[in-house]
Amino acid sequence: MLQFKKTLLGGIAPLLLSIALASPVIASDAHHHAHGKDHNFGAFNKDNVLLTPRGYREWVFVGAPVTPNELNDGKAAFPEFHNVYIDPTSWNHWKKTGEFRDGTVIVKELVSVGSKSAPSGNGYFAGEFNGIAAMVKDSKRFPNRPGNWAFFGFESYEAKEGAIQADEACAACHKDNAAQDMVFTQYYPVLRAAKPKK
């Protein structure tokens, strides 16, 4: 866990965020999709390390659990909202099959708690972006990882690529506790509702 946090959080330059997110990912993917050509959203270096995802805030939102410090004795593993997204091609596959395809990219963006009170009541309201992590399913690139999922942390939003995480850092917990194929679908009604009824 410590290792994970260490690689995940790093120097962040919010000024670059809007640039990083400016690429019209929905438009280009859906355009391809409309012509019958799905594509993979994960891009890798020659060592199968995931390049830093871009444009994921335009992917399909999955869920946003929040685990604040004060509910975890001041030592939350992830003291933020976790905004979780799935890439559009894999979302389309999920809607058809209820399975995560080879090539699925799921991004978790960490967002600080910015406010605990608002006109709508007391609770938790998002503040600022704190970093991202990602998991990728790929049986060819990651044949020996549990479920063929590899987990990546990112030093910063400006990092060129991620750092692959040891199985103990992420995969072990996902494998033991996630409801379907290493993904915590039990906390993601968006995924459950879109899953085909068999």
**Residues contacting a copy of itself: total by CB under 8 A:** 67
Identified binder of a copy of itself from the candidate list 4, 91, 151, 154, rule CB under 8 A = 91
| Geometric angle at alpha carbon 36, from 98 and 103, rounded to 5° | 45
Residue 120 has φ and ψ, to the nearest 5°, of -80, -5
Does residue 159 bind a copy of itself (CB under 8 A)? Answer: no
Does residue 118 bind a copy of itself (CB under 8 A)? Answer: yes
Identified binder of a copy of itself from the candidate list 9, 12, 26, 159, rule CB under 8 A = 26
Does residue 54 bind a copy of itself (CB under 8 A)? Answer: no
**DSSP β-ladder status, 105-118 and 163-164:** unpaired
Compose the 161-190 pattern: x for residues touching a copy of itself by CB under 8 A, - for all others.
------------x--xx------x-xxxxx
Identified binder of a copy of itself from the candidate list 3, 49, 61, 147, rule CB under 8 A = 61
Instruction: Convert 9-46 into a string of H (helix), E (strand) and C (coil).
Output: CCCCCHHHHHHHCCCCHHHHHHHHHHCCCCCCCCCECC
Does residue 9 bind a copy of itself (CB under 8 A)? Answer: no
Does residue 149 bind a copy of itself (CB under 8 A)? Answer: no
Rounded CA-CA distance 62/156 in Å is 22
Place of tokens 């670059």: 16
Rounded CA-CA distance 42/55 in Å is 12
Does residue 34 bind a copy of itself (CB under 8 A)? Answer: yes
Does residue 160 bind a copy of itself (CB under 8 A)? Answer: no
Identified binder of a copy of itself from the candidate list 8, 29, 42, 150, rule CB under 8 A = 29
Rounded CA-CA distance 142/159 in Å is 22
- Which of the ranges 5-13, 41-49, 126-134, 146-154 carries the binding residues for a copy of itself, by CB under 8 A? 126-134
For the beta sheet containing 60-63, the strands, ordered from the edge strand earlier in sequence to the opposite edge, are: 60-63, 80-86, 105-118
Rounded CA-CA distance 117/160 in Å is 37
- Residue 163, beta-bridge partner list: 153
Residue ranges in contact with a copy of itself by CB under 8 A: 14-15, 17-18, 21-22, 24, 26-31, 33-34, 57-58, 60-61, 63-68, 71-72, 76-78, 81-83, 85, 88, 91-92, 95, 111, 114-115, 118-129, 173, 176-177, 184, 186-190, 193-197
